[in-house]
Amino acid sequence: MKIRTRLAPSPTGEIHVGTMRTLLYDYALAKQTSGELILRIEDTDRERYVEGAEERALKVIEDYGLSWDEGPKVGGPQEPYFQSQRLDIYKKYAIELVEKGFAYYCFCTQERLEKLREEQRKEKLAVTKYDKHCLSLTKEEVEKNLKEGIPYVIRLKVPSNEEIEVEDLVLGKLTFPSNDIDDQVLMKSDGFPTYHLAVVVDDHLMNITHILRGREWLPSTPKHVLLYKAFGWRPPKFVHLPLLREVNSTKKLSKRTGSVNAADFLKDGYLPEALLNFMMFLGWNPGTEKEIYSLEEFVKDFSIGKIQTSEMAAFDRQKLLWFNGMYIRNMSTEELWNKVVLWHERYLEKMDFGKYKKEFSLKVLDLVKERMKTLAEFNDLTSYFYFKPFVDKSKFIEFSVSLDKAKEIIKNYLDLYRNIPSEEWTKDNLDKLSHEYLSKYNYKPKEAFMTLRYATCGVSFTPPLFDVFNLIGKEETTSRLEDSLR
């Protein structure tokens, strides 16, 4: 069977990393059956609309290397894919429900509804619900009100004393007492549908076979089941996915701990491939040791049966860092360099390469690649290759017994390095001669080399020192040592 999935983001904010995870699963499920993934923008909540959010949603999906088969930009048989452009469709279906007796007009004012809620709160009822006041209006009363232009909404007529069954492919059969369900507004007074009506109508018209979404939507599902029944439509399969939580917490992902929006992880310097690989495991597990998955492999291996049934999946930020570091290490240096440059162009400003060329940067990258976990770390890890570092002389005593001793070490090595002919300035030669000087002056390796490292790089942690000297060259090394004596 060809599977048709959909992602239906609302432009009320940015695409959350959990939404991107859902999209990844949607993608895998559709692709493994040569089916389709539909992207639909659910922009019916005008009050919470965030300017430009839909363009950013499309962009970030593309930036992650995912794509959709029908939807904005690419079109498709059920155009338009923006709900705000489909209002007539929802209106027609809302009226159909009223005519069939599954929905009704409600003319209650905001004040009345507010008072009702207030009273119910005082009574400490578990759920506040509409009291079905307008359900008892006669046909004539309704017509009169409509004719007079009294503002109205259309509500779902939820049956009393029923158990509503929801069949979820991951969670199994779930039942919801209908008495807990409000007579949901389907059509608002501004002519816009609510999410519940629009999502059901569109999922049906767009022939969606599987609805994947986060667990936060589970309480809405019985309402949708009622709507499918009322229309006489067969509901798609429901698949509710675990929500994401911080490690060692039962709460949802928090901005206080780090990024939560998909786009922000790219800004943090994560690679889309690593992010996708990490996300594959946010609620799914193949049950093997295999951890490194390309998108193609995931499309092949993904199955609904292996989605976890727990309510939340841990979002292990350390693990994400590990994945990213691994993708960085496994990438060719040239490819990594291109990504570093693109990242800088997009998130910082154009890179200032100083006097150095690309060949130099490739060598720098070769040296730091092992330790680099995000593209954003490049600057911090490498700035001393490109620019003379700031050297705080009072810090020498962290590496040497005294400031005088540090100066003496630097002077002696400066003599040594000045006398090495340029053509003999190689890593191995530097290594050999520098070690010989240790015995000549009876220096401890740690004291001497840490002092030289700090004097030339301004940091205490670098790739092997003679690799660094070899790369920045004789002139630069000796000039930095001279500067550190001033």
List residues with catalytic annotation.
255
* Choice between 20 and 313, CB closer to ligand GLU: 20
Determine the interface stretch with ligand GLU among 7-15, 243-251, 432-440, 475-483 (rule: CB under 6 A): 7-15
Q: Does 72 bind ligand GLU (CB under 6 A)?
A: no
Task: Compose the 428-447 pattern: x for residues touching ligand GLU by CB under 6 A, - for all others.
Answer: --------------------
Minimum Å distance from CB 82 to ligand GLU?
12
**Interface residues for ligand GLU in 198-217 (CB under 6 A)?**
199, 213, 217
* Choice between 211 and 328, CB closer to ligand GLU: 211
Among 14, 42, 202, 268, binds ligand GLU (CB under 6 A): 42
Q: Does 5 bind ligand GLU (CB under 6 A)?
A: no
* Choice between 199 and 263, CB closer to ligand GLU: 199
Q: Does 283 bind ligand GLU (CB under 6 A)?
A: no
Segment (H or E) for 231: helix 221-231
CA distances for 404 relative to 407, 409, 412, angstroms: 5, 9, 12
Token digits of residue 366: 């070769």
* Choice between 26 and 268, CB closer to ligand GLU: 26
Token digits of residue 342: 């693109």
Antiparallel, parallel or unpaired: β 36-39 and 312-315: unpaired
Q: Does 38 bind ligand GLU (CB under 6 A)?
A: no
Rg of the chain in Å (alpha carbons): 32
Determine the interface stretch with ligand GLU among 8-16, 88-96, 263-271, 310-318 (rule: CB under 6 A): 8-16
Those residues whose C-beta lies under 8 Å from the C-beta of residue 391, and which sit 6 or more positions away, are: 454, 455, 458, 483, 484
CA distances for 481 relative to 189, 277, 406, 438, 478, angstroms: 76, 45, 11, 17, 5
Sequence letter at residue 449: F
CA distance 266 to 262: 7
Q: Does 269 bind ligand GLU (CB under 6 A)?
A: no
156 forms bridges with which residues in the sheet?
A: 103
Minimum Å distance from CB 214 to ligand GLU?
8
Distance of CA 204 to the CA centre of its chain: 28
Task: Compose the 181-200 pattern: x for residues touching ligand GLU by CB under 6 A, - for all others.
Answer: --------------x---x-
Sequence letter at residue 183: D
Determine the interface stretch with ligand GLU among 3-11, 352-360, 434-442, 466-474 (rule: CB under 6 A): 3-11
Q: Does 243 bind ligand GLU (CB under 6 A)?
A: no
Minimum Å distance from CB 198 to ligand GLU?
9
Size of the site for ligand GLU (CB under 6 A): 8
Q: What are phi and psi of 327, to 5 degrees?
A: -65, -35
* Choice between 237 and 427, CB closer to ligand GLU: 237
Determine the interface stretch with ligand GLU among 2-10, 389-397, 434-442, 470-478 (rule: CB under 6 A): 2-10
| Contact status, residue 54 vs residue 15, Cβ threshold 8 Å | no
Binding residues: 255
Place of tokens 């807990």: 180
Q: Does 157 bind ligand GLU (CB under 6 A)?
A: no
Sequence letter at residue 154: I
Determine the interface stretch with ligand GLU among 4-12, 113-121, 230-238, 361-369 (rule: CB under 6 A): 4-12
CA distance 306 to 314: 16
Minimum Å distance from CB 322 to ligand GLU?
29
* Choice between 304 and 368, CB closer to ligand GLU: 304
Q: Write the secondary structure of 77-113 as one string of H (helix), E (strand) and C (coil).
A: CCCCCEHHHCHHHHHHHHHHHHHHCCEEEECCCHHHH
Among 3, 4, 5, 10, binds ligand GLU (CB under 6 A): 10
Q: Does 155 bind ligand GLU (CB under 6 A)?
A: no
Minimum Å distance from CB 44 to ligand GLU?
9
CA distance 271 to 268: 9
Q: Does 9 bind ligand GLU (CB under 6 A)?
A: yes
Minimum Å distance from CB 223 to ligand GLU?
11
* Choice between 8 and 391, CB closer to ligand GLU: 8
What value, to the nearest 5°, has the Cα angle with vertex 270 and ends 266 and 272? 75
CA distances for 94 relative to 61, 246, 412, angstroms: 32, 41, 88
**Count of residues in the chain:** 486
Chain residues binding ligand GLU by CB under 6 A are: 8-10, 42, 195, 199, 213, 217
